[in-house]
Amino acid sequence: MQVQFLGAADTVTGSKHLVHAGGQRVLLDCGMFQGFKVFRERNWQALAVEPRAIDAVVLSHAHLDHSGWLPVLVRSGFAGPVYATPATRALAEVLLLDAAYLQEEDARRANRYHTSRHEKALPLYTRADVHRTMSRFRPLSPGREASLGELSLSFTPVGHLLGACAVTLSERRHTLVFSGDLGRRHDLLMPPPQTLQAADTMIVESTYGNRRHPVDDPAPLLAEVVCETVRRGGSVLMPAFAVGRAQALLLLLQRLKASGQIPGKLPIFLDSPMAIEATSLYRQFRRLLRVSAAEIERLTDGVTLVTTGAQSMRLSRSRYPCVIISASGMATGGRVLHHLKAMAPHPQHHIVFAGFQVGGSRGAHLVAGASEVKIHGEYVPVRAEVSTLEGLSGHADADEVLDWLRALRRPPAQTFVVHGEPDAADTLRLRIQDELRWRVRVPAHGALFTL
């Protein structure tokens, strides 16, 4: 068995791990690179292996840094099956179509205003590419197995996101486990990660490998932010990942209204067609959640669903206090940018981020205290208050990752730490080495190992 790390090996995005075993080449995840330009440019580079030579793709979950390069792979010649849980397949379609639309719009805008350094700006992929990609999916539920030549494939739920799972690939003499993204013990929406019994090789994520989440309940902090902002006549803008974080924020706001901690008549707007569609999927797959069916049904009670671009633009010009939840979660694109342009220059408003901000993203710059940000080719001053709700992260922190690893009955022969910024990955490596006494390394981008 061999594994080659083609993404998320020196950064937290672009998850791609190629496993060669049992006569099969299986790509674990097919993610898009995000954040710093040096990483985003990899999205336009050819893969180190010919796409036609890959026999199957297995998705741990639907987030774009794990699924967002699939349409490029299919367009480049990949013709095999894509295995994912039913919920992951449903969410991936929503996320990929939205990503393609945004890329098409960005290319159209660049060509219209001549802001591209290329003669003609092109999207990385189109919605037509996504439709072709979705035909490759083969849903596989947790608890079932699929045969890939001499390999067997199975999924184990790990919280984090609807449908998210760790991946187990087994041949006669070797079992490889890929954690995907691990969720938290006390996530608002998702059950805690299920543990596994054995792995000869472990590939584990390290998004929060150098951090511990605060133990404080995020609800009182959010209530304080909302009430203080409303008192000074401002509005709260919450850039939110349309899948997972948007639904968690809606749940928190509904609970705060019901308990009287924020004004019951405060207008709340969900300005993201993708988040609206994803919320319906959370209702469809509510048996996978830890929240009661009644609360899931009430997520959008009293919430104005903003469906059209014209409605969104009118909302960005409004002057009355409100809460706006809009995608994207790292403010890299989408409707949230119009709200940022309108609200960031004014000190009465508050911008609240509720998820991990990849280095180099607009969200990371804002959280770091940037005095201005570039939006649609122009610099916008930032005078609004900016804060983060760390307690709402969907990722396990370093302690939770170690606890999940400890549940294995015996140490793996080899552990690889991936999907983290360099400091986070190496900090987790040291803890695994020192506390668990496992053989562990952080692979370099493109590195190939025989297991």
* pTM reported for the whole predicted model: 0.91
For the stretch 220-266, pLDDT in tens is 999 999 999 999 999 999 999 889 999 999 999 999 999 999 999 99
Bond prior to 292 in cis (omega within 30° of 0): no
Whole-number Å distance between alpha carbons of 44 and 42 = 5
Question: What is the band of 35 on the pLDDT scale with cuts at 50, 70, 90?
Answer: confident
Which of 223, 285, 224, 233 shows the shortest CA–CA distance to 254? 223
Mean pLDDT on 270-275? 94
Whole-number Å distance between alpha carbons of 395 and 433 = 21
How high is the mean pLDDT of the chain?
A: 95
For the stretch 154-175, pLDDT in tens is 999 999 999 999 999 999 889 9
Whole-number Å distance between alpha carbons of 405 and 195 = 8
Q: Are 413 and 200 in contact (CB under 8 A)?
A: yes
What pLDDT, on a 0 to 100 scale, did the predictor assign at position 115?
A: 72
What pLDDT, on a 0 to 100 scale, did the predictor assign at position 162?
A: 96
Question: What is the band of 334 on the pLDDT scale with cuts at 50, 70, 90?
Answer: confident
Whole-number Å distance between alpha carbons of 337 and 351 = 12
CB atoms within 10 A of CB 86: 16
Token readout for 316 is 């960005």
What pLDDT, on a 0 to 100 scale, did the predictor assign at position 327?
A: 87
Phi, psi of 327 (to 5 degrees): -95, 150
Token readout for 290 is 């830890």
Dump the DSSP string for 163-180.
T-EEEEEEETTEEEEE--
For the stretch 75-105, pLDDT in tens is 999 999 999 999 999 999 999 998 999 899 8
What pLDDT, on a 0 to 100 scale, did the predictor assign at position 393?
A: 85
For the stretch 342-363, pLDDT in tens is 999 999 999 999 877 888 889 9
Does the pLDDT at position 113 exceed 80?
A: no
What pLDDT, on a 0 to 100 scale, did the predictor assign at position 386?
A: 97
Mean pLDDT on 102-127? 85
Residue 225 parent element (H or E): helix 218-231
Q: Are 247 and 278 in contact (CB under 8 A)?
A: yes
For the stretch 402-448, pLDDT in tens is 999 999 999 999 999 999 999 999 999 999 999 999 999 999 999 99
